[in-house]
């Protein structure tokens, strides 16, 4: 439903012609009634910026969606210019001198405060551009803030934010004092580590520390335009380098799981290794590191490991029982409803599985046009994209209170980076347990599906180079 966006205007004593001008400013917005709430569905860039800085109504949800996704439909230099121009906010040319004077004293100051507040919010929470003394956008904002201080005191804080960005300093934020981390569970010999001799809880902790560090670096711009699917170029900085790094880590962990099992020639040692990996996955689950849980299950259910019927037949009942709830959580039933509900209820710190977010973002990208048939920016699509991004950001707001053990982390990094690709393990798997007629599993309490997690990890697995 197309509406002109002039509802609930504050009565500033303007004449009817002022309301007409308000209609002209916002008539390039398309609104929709959603449960009694008017939400923006589409609009021109200028109209969206005007709605972002309206004098008569503050839409916190709209503002957050806009600042999260603005790089989807414009650029930092363009948005900077539009906001600076909006601050000037001259009265409409059709106004009489009396109307223009009333407008300048009543409406313009409110618009200017909104512009300043949006710029501060942008710099504090959504700025993704470069920083430093040579950034032209920050220099332009600095010049603007220096002038704006004379018109509104609110610009003083904006100037401080810009100067900190120019200096490359971290913005001041209040952080509660972190609690004391639990004491690490150290093996007897830190200088000669073996996987089976490291406590599974400590392996889970160190894996979580490593992945949490990478997860915290994800930037909003990496989730727009499916940038993570772009091929790497040796001469260029990848636009989704943090996403790619997390994908690569996920795949390395999955490959390492398979490599640990395949490396054991003795049947008993292979089953012990599987049991230890199940314990690690369980501890990752307890830490709400669901990404590691899915990666470990992916390795356990990869083709070279899945086919080891005699090995799986000897896995203990305890390990089989422990695997059941983990598999139930990542069931593909009802579009992974069990996992989605788990994530929805999770209280950070938590590391979600990135692949499903990428799958959802791809679905939104491919299933919705960026521009409407009327040539307007499809802001409804931006709203859906922002919903996914905001869920990722929710888990970036809290950090784990865990202590790094450098020796264990060095061991894990070396192991992960040297793990062969899962496709290279199949021949070794056939050597360990040759194909033969009449083979069957002797234990029916747990059966790896050989692909139960495949559809869930495919969004990540196919993206790695």
Q: Is residue 464 within 8 Å of residue 251, measured between CB atoms? A: yes
Q: Is residue 7 pLDDT above 50, yes or no?
A: no
Question: Rounded to 10 degrees, what is the CA torsion of 79, 85, 88, 94?
Answer: -130
Buried b (16+ CB within 10 A) or exposed e, 180-209: eeeeeeebeeeeebebeebbbbbbbbbbbb
Q: Calculate mean pLDDT across residues 145-164.
A: 93
Q: Is residue 452 pLDDT above 80, yes or no?
A: no
Q: Is residue 451 pLDDT above 70, yes or no?
A: no
Q: Which fold, 195-350+398-435+450-462?
A: Son of Sevenless (SoS) protein; Chain S, domain 2 (1.10.840)
Smallest CA-to-CA distance from 128 within 90, 71, 183 is with 71
Q: What is the pLDDT of residues 418-440, one digit of tens each?
A: 999 888 899 999 999 998 644 44
- Could you say which DSSP state residue 2 is in? -
- Spatial separation of the C-alpha atoms in residues 264 and 273, rounded to whole Å: 8
- Spatial separation of the C-alpha atoms in residues 285 and 353, rounded to whole Å: 12
User: What is the predicted pLDDT for the residue at 196?
Assistant: 97
Q: Is residue 375 within 8 Å of residue 209, measured between CB atoms? A: no
Q: Which helix (H) or strand (E) holds 41?
A: strand 37-43
Q: What is the pLDDT of residues 58-81, one digit of tens each?
A: 899 999 999 999 999 999 999 999
Q: Which helix (H) or strand (E) holds 103?
A: helix 97-106
Confidence of residue 453 (pLDDT cuts 50, 70, 90): very low
User: What is the predicted pLDDT for the residue at 26?
Assistant: 54
Q: Which residues pair with 433 in a beta bridge?
A: none
Q: Which phi and psi angles does 189 have, rounded to 5°? A: -115, 100
What pTM value is reported for the model? 0.88
- Spatial separation of the C-alpha atoms in residues 249 and 33, rounded to whole Å: 44
Whole-angstrom CA distances from 284 to 101, 173, 207, 218, 383 are 64, 30, 8, 21, 32
Q: Which phi and psi angles does 403 have, rounded to 5°? A: -100, 130
- Spatial separation of the C-alpha atoms in residues 348 and 393, rounded to whole Å: 11
Class of domain 29-167: mainly alpha
Farthest-apart Cα atoms in the chain, separation: 96
Mean pLDDT, the chain, integer? 87
Buried b (16+ CB within 10 A) or exposed e, 290-311: bbbbbbbbbbbbbebbbbbbeb
Q: Calculate mean pLDDT across residues 40-66.
A: 94
Confidence of residue 405 (pLDDT cuts 50, 70, 90): very high
Q: Calculate mean pLDDT across residues 90-108.
A: 89
User: What is the predicted pLDDT for the residue at 27?
Assistant: 60
Q: Where are the domains of the chain?
A: 29-167, 195-350+398-435+450-462
């Amino acid at each position: 439903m197309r509406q002109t966006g002039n509802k609930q205007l504050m009565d500033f004593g303007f004449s009817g012609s002022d309301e007409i001008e308000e209609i002209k400013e916002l008539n390039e917005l398309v609104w929709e009634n959603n449960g009694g709430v008017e939400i923006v569905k589409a609009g021109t860039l200028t109209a969206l910026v005007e709605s972002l800085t309206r004098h008569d109504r503050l839409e916190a949800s709209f503002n957050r969606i806009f600042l999260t996704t603005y790089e989807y439909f414009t650029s930092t230099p363009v948005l900077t210019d539009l906001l600076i121009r909006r601050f000037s906010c001259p009265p409409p040319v059709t106004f009489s001198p009396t109307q223009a004077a009333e407008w300048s004293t009543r409406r313009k100051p409110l618009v200017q405060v909104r512009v300043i507040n949006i710029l501060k919010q942008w710099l504090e929470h959504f700025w993704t551009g470069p920083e430093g003394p040579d950034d032209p956008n920050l220099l332009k904002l600095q010049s603007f803030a220096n002038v704006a201080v004379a018109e509104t005191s609110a610009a003083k804080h904006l100037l401080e934010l810009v100067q900190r960005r120019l200096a490359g300093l971290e913005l001041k934020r209040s952080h509660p004092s972190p609690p004391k981390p639990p004491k690490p569970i150290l093996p007897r010999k830190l200088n000669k580590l073996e996987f089976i001799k490291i406590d599974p809880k400590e392996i889970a902790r160190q894996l979580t520390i490593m992945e949490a560090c990478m997860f915290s670096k994800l930037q909003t711009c990496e989730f727009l335009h499916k940038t993570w699917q772009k091929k790497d170029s040796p001469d260029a900085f990848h636009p989704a380098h943090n996403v790619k790094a997390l994908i690569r880590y996920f795949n390395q962990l999955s490959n390492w799981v398979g490599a640990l099992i395949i490396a054991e020639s003795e049947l008993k040692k292979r089953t012990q290794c599987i049991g230890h990996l199940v314990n690690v996955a369980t501890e990752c689950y307890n830490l709400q590191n669901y990404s590691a849980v899915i990666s470990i299950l992916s390795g356990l259910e990869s083709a070279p490991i899945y086919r080891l019927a005699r090995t799986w037949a000897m896995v203990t009942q305890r390990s089989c029982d422990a695997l059941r709830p983990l598999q139930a959580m990542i069931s593909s039933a009802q579009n992974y409803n069990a996992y989605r509900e788990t994530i929805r209820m999770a209280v950070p710190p938590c590391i979600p599985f990135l692949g499903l977010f990428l799958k959802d973002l791809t679905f939104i990208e491919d299933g919705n046009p960026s521009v409407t048939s009327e040539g307007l920016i499809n802001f409804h699509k931006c709203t859906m994209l922002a919903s996914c991004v905001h869920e990722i950001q929710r888990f970036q707001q809290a950090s784990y209170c865990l202590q790094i053990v450098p020796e264990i982390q060095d061991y894990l990094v070396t192991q992960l980076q040297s793990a062969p690709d899962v496709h290279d393990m199949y021949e070794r798997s056939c050597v360990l347990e040759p194909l033969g007629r009449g083979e069957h599993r002797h234990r029916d309490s747990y059966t790896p599906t050989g692909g139960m997690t495949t559809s869930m990890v495919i969004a990540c697995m196919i993206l790695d180079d």
